[in-house]
Structure formats: C-alpha cells, structure tokens
Amino acid sequence: MRDKELEYRQRNIDRIDRTIAALVAERVRVTYEIADFLAVADAAYQGAPGAFSEDAARELVGASATLLPCASLAQVFDAVATGRARSAVVPVENSIAGDVPGCADLIAGHDVRVAGECVRLIRHALVGSAGATVESIRTVRSHPIALAQCLNFLRERPWMAPVDAFDTAGAVAEVVAAGRPDLGAIASCRAAELYVAVIIANDVQDRADNRTRFLLVRPGDDVHMTIEERDT
C-alpha cells in the first residue's frame, strides 16, 4: 500500500516538474516577444525596403543597422520623438526636383539636430511585372519627387500617366502584386530585384548627375541646428 502511495506521489512530482518546465519555456518565449516589441531601431526612414532612403540610411548608420521603414516623413519623425528609433535618415533636397516638401518644417518642428549627411547618386529605372513593355504601360507609379526627376522621359511617352505613390519601392511592390502589363513604376534597380520586377528601361531620370542629399537626424539634447545653419 505504501509503495502505491509513494508511486502516486512521485507521478505528481513528475507532473509538477513538467508543468514548471513548460511555464519556464513559455516565460522565455514571452520575454523574447517583449524584447522584440520594445526593440529600438537604429534609424527610421520613409519608404518600403528597397527605397533610396534605405540605401542612405545604410550609409549613414551602418550596413548592419536595424532600420524602421515608415509610410510618411511625419511618421519618421514621430518614431524618433517616441523613442522607437534612435535617429532618422531623411531626403532634404534633390538636384533636379529641388527641396523635398515638408522635410525642413518637420526638422524645425521637432526637438532634433542634424548629426550627419550624405549625397547619393540617384538612378531611376522603369519597371513592371512580367510581360510589361514600354508600349503596354499606361500608368506609372512612384513617389512624386521621383516622378519630378523623370519628367522628360514621361513627356516623351504621353501614353504613360504618372500617378503618385507613397514611395518608389512601395510602388514596385504594388505593381508586381497587381501583375498587369499596363502598370509600371519608377524606382531603383535594387527595388526591382528585391520585388522580382522586370526592368524595362534604365536611367530614365532627366540628368545623369541626379543626386539627393540625405540628413541623419537625432534627438536634440538641447542642440537645435537648422538646415540653413548647417550650410553656413
């Protein structure tokens, strides 16, 4: 009788041990989930992966940095303000299209400072889904600043209607997802490769020396520096 009672209690201990082990494993899993949720990106940028701003961010904060893509420049600055990103990389001006609308106002309206900059050569390509050709495309999607850099190409092809998108790389993703030969996007060759799009025409920007200036922006720490102050 005592042997059966001892065996019963031993089985209970084994069951409790298995429960404890399962709870510990669950606690570890949830801990990692919390760490992922609370992780702070090294830099935020506007656009989808494959955007020119992502390339600039890699140059300014490092190839292995963790990056946070955002749908708008306002969201980029909000990410820095709320601590979800340690910095932001934003385009401020282009040699063809001029100043990026709203960027200077966002810098002035947040407690941030300019901590670095880079100027990148911007080469645009016309891309589409499989089967798309220059003749078949009727709508070209891209960021409005990118479209402004390719006006000559579009004017020479009046059957192509430019349509604003939130980002160059995001436009490629949308075009590939649609899978229609009448839709195209203007973006980088890297974005075309990333989203498995077809490159229909290379170097569609108005000038070969098309360049964009990007700024690295960090929390202010009571140091305020405007674009004009940095340029003087």
Catalytic residues, which ones?
Answer: 212, 214
Is the alpha carbon torsion for 153, 154, 155, 160 positive or negative?
Answer: positive
Longest Cα–Cα distance of the chain, Å, equals 97
Tokens coding 27: 């606690």
Query: Helix/strand/coil (H, E, C) string of 34-59?
Result: HHHHHCCECEEEECCCCCHHHHHHHH
Contact 161, 139 (CB under 8 A): yes
Q: What is the residue-wise DSSP string for 128-153? A: ESTT--TTT--EEEE-HHHHHTTHHH
Token look-up 């935020």 returns 44
Other C-beta atoms lying within 10 Å of the C-beta of residue 154: 18
Other C-beta atoms lying within 10 Å of the C-beta of residue 136: 15
With 0-12 / 13-18 / 19 or more C-beta atoms within 10 angstroms meaning exposed / middle / buried, residue 14 is exposed
Identity of the amino acid at 68: L
